[in-house]
A and B are shown apart, each in its own frame.
Chain A
Amino acid sequence: MDNYVSIIFDDDAKATQALHELWKLDGSGDVTVHGAAEIRREQNGLIDVATKQTDIGARTLIGVAVGLLLGALAGPVGAAAGKVVATGTALGTGAAVGGVTGLTADGIKAGERDEAGHEAAFFLPPGKSAVIAEVDESWTEPIDSMAKRLGGSVHRRAKDDVNRDMWEGDYSGYLYPYDYDPVYA
């Protein structure tokens, strides 16, 4: 089954380790990773995407796209919030610093907050890091075990469901299609 997975950790080091372990699971055939990226949420609420790009335009594009994807992982309301905030960021902060996408629950309309409650777990709390990935997996045990061993928590959503909520296309192509050494700009 083609799923989007986010694995949330307390720090960058664990997220980086998980990113590499995820690709090892691909190498052993336990899952097939189509793409993955490491992200973290700053104390000010902005979300950084760790890239390996030197091209600022490419970094910004990846940041905006992964921000939208993270919002969609949270469900329909999260997708709306991600779209609003990431679009604004693309024209402002993201373009200035490269690959930075702000994504906060403030983008959710007041009337939708209750509905968003159960989805809020997908939003990264400030100071946390995560791996976000598109994977084919017929059972969840390999990724769940790896995440548990590293102290992370796993959230999943079927790709079909995510794409249904993302009105402007499939952003999976912005995840890295191979293992990489993540660097924050």
Chain B
Amino acid sequence: MSTIKDAINQARANAQDLHKQVMAATGKDQAAIKNDFTNVSTDAQALANSIKETAAAQAQQSDTRAYLSDAVAQIQDAANHAKAAAQAAAPEFSKAKATVIADMTNGLNSLSHAVATQRAAQPGARS
């Protein structure tokens, strides 16, 4: 149980780092953002795959599984949209950028709730 708990905590920490990376990128000029988003796409895909493995590794609470499943889909969306944003023309770029941020925020929020449900399931849970 502690292994899976640690894995979910680690996935959340990785998602927080990726979210920071996305937000840092958005303060740059468009060419630099596009370059950064190519890396974000790769990192988000790797994170989604990692969470999928974590979710499949052990039987967990159904609500934790549901949150992890949502996180996989949302971070996968972030990967796809970051790739599209990196190739988007100027008129569509702002919308594409906002979509990536929303996807990452949603994915991180799902992971955070997965952490909360996992913590609540521990004996003597405090949160």
Partner of A29, one of B16, B23, B26, B126: B126
A173 and B16 CA atoms in complex are apart in Å by 13
Which range holds the interface residue count of chain A? 20 to 34
- Determine chain B's interface SS by DSSP, over half rule: helix
In the complex, what residues of B have CB within 8 A of residue A137's CB? Answer: 127
A62 and B112 CA atoms in complex are apart in Å by 20
In the complex, what residues of B have CB within 8 A of residue A35's CB? Answer: 109, 112
A177 and B102 CA atoms in complex are apart in Å by 12
A93 within 8 A of B: no
Question: Are A177 and B108 in contact (CB-based, < 8 A)?
Answer: yes
With A136-B116, A173-B102 given, is the CB distance from A54 to B27 under 8 Å? yes
A163 nearest CB across to chain B (Å) = 14
B115 within 8 A of A: yes
Question: Are A138 and B109 in contact (CB-based, < 8 A)?
Answer: no
Q: Give residues of chain A (1-25) contacting chain B, Cβ–Cβ below 8 Å.
A: 2
Question: Are B126 and A58 in contact (CB-based, < 8 A)?
Answer: no
Question: Are B126 and A177 in contact (CB-based, < 8 A)?
Answer: no
Which range holds the interface residue count of chain B? 20 to 34
B120 within 8 A of A: yes
A53 and B23 CA atoms in complex are apart in Å by 8
Contact mask B14-49 → A, CB, 8 Å, 1/0? 001001100100110000000000000000000000
In the complex, what residues of A have CB within 8 A of residue B27's CB? Answer: 53-55
Question: Are A178 and B19 in contact (CB-based, < 8 A)?
Answer: yes
A54 and B119 CA atoms in complex are apart in Å by 35
User: Which of B20, B27, B106, B127 lies at the interface centre, i.e. has the most chain A CB atoms within 10 A of its CB?
Assistant: B127
Partner of A58, one of B19, B26, B109, B125: B26
A88 within 8 A of B: no
Q: Determine the residue in chain B with the shortest Cβ distance to A179.
A: B16
In the complex, what residues of B have CB within 8 A of residue A2's CB? Answer: 116
Question: Are B23 and A142 in contact (CB-based, < 8 A)?
Answer: no
Q: Give residues of chain A (155-185) contacting chain B, Cβ–Cβ below 8 Å.
A: 172-173, 177-178
16 A/B residue pairs, CB under 8 Å, sorted by A: A30-B126, A31-B126, A34-B116, A35-B109, A35-B112, A52-B23, A55-B27, A58-B26, A135-B127, A137-B127, A138-B126, A139-B126, A173-B105, A173-B106, A177-B112, A178-B19
5 further A-B contacts with Cβ under 8 Å, apart from A58-B26, A137-B127, A178-B19, are A2-B116, A29-B126, A34-B116, A58-B101, A142-B126
